Amino acid sequence: MSGLVKSPLNLSWQDFLGLPKVASVSDFHCVEGWSVLGQRWEGVPFRVIVEMAKPKGEAKYVTFECDDGYTTSLSLTDLLDTSVLLACKLEGRFLSPEHGGPLRLIVPKKYAYKNAMWIRKIRFASERELGYWEGRGYSDTADPWKEERYTR
């Protein structure tokens, strides 16, 4: 974790696995119109990462950088929701690469493109950075219940 934080972190995989984990059941919504209901994810609540990194007062957004160059950004407020996880397991098994393994973000209240896969860096910032899909016209708020698919 880097950027506007008081305690920058560089966690190894073993460090991450040693953090407190929870299991959570949620639905997963794709912007293309399909959903997978009742998925059981396991991982570290994002709130734990926030407590460890201690964001500075001006930190309002978080950008996720992934192995393949993919990025997405969410508000710190959205990420503090108790349902948000840095997930390492799906249905009791460690995540495979096709499901975003070894580590992916799970934000049940957002479309899947906000659920970054293959996470490598997390950066706290004062301003929102448009990610890969958002820079191509997809909604930055990505609320599936409001069908916020595209920028208007």
Give the pLDDT confidence of 65-121 residue by residue, as tens digits. Answer: 999 899 999 999 999 999 999 999 999 999 999 999 999 999 999 999 999 999 999
Assess contact for 62 and 84: CB atoms under 8 A: no
The overall longest dimension of the chain from CA atoms, in Å, is 43
What pLDDT sits at residue 151? 81
Which two tokens mark 52? Answer: 């460890």
Query: Which domains can be identified in the chain, with CATH numbers?
Result: 2-135 (3.90.420.10)
